[in-house]
């Protein structure tokens, strides 16, 4: 008798049965005997996703004699792409192979034949991978004056949805390819099955002319597709040609203990015009200090430079100073604020404690 893949014993006789021609018979033990070669796999997996295939050979033993149960051959009808192929050593304790599902949906059979005659099988249904969908991925932000930015309905919103009913999606942020565009989102670190979140893009041109940016989703999740593709293109046009702006023009360092130094405060001047501009700077006295700057006497067309200040009081009380800045001898527009305003420098305030 020979043990079959189902664990039962099979044999033949040379007489008996119809016309005394012999019979093929099956003997099933009680309790049932374990199948000699056993494969354990998920019943279904998404195309291209990783999965585990467990295998054990009940009647194997230590040694590598040809024809014995520890000499096994792995085969499958998916070709070599899944990683389940070639000679394996059968062992009586379960081992695990980490495989990759085929990229084409369908039904696939994995087999392990040991000793040349006895085999174990596992059938897996490969389904289409779940999709991360976007309401759209490409948008023209229109024409925006240099020194201002889109807001409200002028911003561009994208809804991102995890269409899987079982798999969570790891959201690791967004890569955005141009500083004229920024984004904010309410996406959690893990987007649950059937979950969604919103991404909002803003355009604030730094110079005149049309600029583009590519964006994409960062993730460690595998086995997902994207519809449309993961990422897209943003376009916007800066207009005006006469705006030079400062990002912020005032800061209150708050309460700082006498003899201590505050955290740094920084601001940036951007020349959004098509021409070089002249920069005239003032000075500061203690307890305020210009810690660092890369600004000179001019800013080239499309260029920018910045300042960093701190506050180090030596006495108690409130104090305030203006670090004067002029562009071509005049006031400088403030980047944020509606209606637009101009300022004559950076106002610094602090309270010694």
Q: Tell me what the pLDDT averaged over the chain comes to.
A: 88
Asked if pLDDT for residue 15 goes beyond 60, the answer is: yes
The conformation of residue 262, written as its DSSP 8-state character, comes to P
The Cα 89–Cα 87 span in angstroms is 7
Residue 338 pLDDT: 47
For domain 34-127, which CATH number applies: 3.10.20.30, 2.60.40.10, 3.20.20.140, 3.30.1490.20?
2.60.40.10
Residue 301 pLDDT: 83
Percent of the chain's residues with pLDDT above 90: 53
Residue 240 pLDDT: 64
- For 227, residues 6+ apart whose C-beta sits below 8 A from its C-beta are 131, 132, 133, 134
CB-based contact 177:215 (threshold 8 Å):
yes
- For the chain, the structural domain boundaries read 34-127, 131-239, 244-352
Residue 351: band (very low, low, confident or very high) from pLDDT cuts 50, 70, 90: very high
Name the more confident of 238 and 112: 112
State both tokens at 246. Answer: 């400062």
Residue 80 has phi, psi (to 5 degrees) of -85, 0
CB-based contact 64:89 (threshold 8 Å):
yes
Percent of the chain's residues with pLDDT above 70: 94
Name the more confident of 102 and 147: 102
pLDDT digits (tens, 9 = 90+) for 320-343: 999 999 999 988 888 765 456 789
Residue 39: band (very low, low, confident or very high) from pLDDT cuts 50, 70, 90: very high
pLDDT digits (tens, 9 = 90+) for 227-254: 999 989 999 988 765 578 888 899 999 9
Fold held by 244-352:
Immunoglobulin-like (2.60.40)
Write the CATH number of the domain with boundaries 131-239. Answer: 2.60.40.10
The Cα 85–Cα 78 span in angstroms is 10
CB-based contact 185:199 (threshold 8 Å):
yes
Asked if pLDDT for residue 30 goes beyond 90, the answer is: no
Residue 19 has phi, psi (to 5 degrees) of 60, 20
CB-based contact 317:338 (threshold 8 Å):
no
**End-to-end C-alpha distance for the chain, whole angstroms:** 95
CB-based contact 132:230 (threshold 8 Å):
yes
State both tokens at 341. Answer: 């305003």
What pTM was computed for the model? 0.47
For range 107-120, the mean pLDDT:
89
Phi-psi region of 335 (alpha: psi -120 to 50; beta: other; left: phi over 0): alpha
């Amino acid at each position: 008798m020979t043990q079959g893949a189902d664990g039962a014993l099979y044999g033949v006789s040379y007489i008996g049965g119809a016309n005394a021609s012999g019979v093929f018979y099956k003997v099933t033990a009680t309790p049932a005997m374990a199948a000699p070669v056993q494969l354990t796999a998920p019943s279904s997996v998404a195309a291209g996703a990783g999965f585990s295939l467990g295998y054990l050979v009940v009647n194997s033993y230590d040694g590598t004699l040809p024809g014995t149960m520890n000499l096994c051959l792995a085969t499958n009808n998916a070709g070599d792409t899944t990683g389940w192929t070639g000679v394996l050593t059968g062992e009586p304790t379960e081992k695990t192979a980490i495989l990759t599902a085929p990229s084409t949906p369908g039904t696939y059979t994995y087999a392990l034949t040991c000793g040349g005659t006895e085999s174990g099988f596992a059938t897996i249904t490969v389904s289409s991978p779940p999709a991360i969908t976007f309401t759209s991925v490409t948008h023209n932000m229109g024409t925006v004056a240099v020194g201002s930015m889109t807001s409200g309905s002028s911003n561009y919103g994208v809804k991102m949805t995890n269409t899987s009913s079982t798999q969570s999606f790891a959201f690791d942020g967004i890569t955005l390819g141009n500083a004229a565009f920024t984004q904010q989102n309410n996406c959690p670190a893990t987007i649950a099955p059937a979950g969604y979140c919103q991404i909002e893009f803003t355009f604030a041109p730094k110079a005149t002319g049309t600029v583009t940016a590519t964006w994409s989703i960062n993730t460690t999740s595998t086995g997902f597709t994207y519809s449309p593709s993961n990422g897209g293109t943003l376009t916007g046009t800066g207009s005006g040609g006469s705006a030079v702006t400062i990002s912020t023009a005032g800061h209150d360092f708050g309460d700082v203990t006498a003899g201590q130094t505050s955290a740094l405060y920084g601001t940036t001047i951007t020349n959004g015009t098509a021409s070089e501009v002249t920069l005239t700077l003032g000075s500061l006295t203690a307890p305020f200090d210009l810690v660092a700057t890369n600004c000179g006497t001019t800013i080239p067309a499309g260029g920018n430079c910045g300042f960093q200040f701190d506050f180090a009081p030596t006495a108690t009380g409130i104090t305030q100073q203006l670090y004067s800045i002029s562009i071509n001898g005049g006031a400088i527009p403030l980047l944020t604020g509606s209606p637009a305003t101009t300022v004559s420098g950076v106002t610094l305030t602090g309270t010694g404690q």
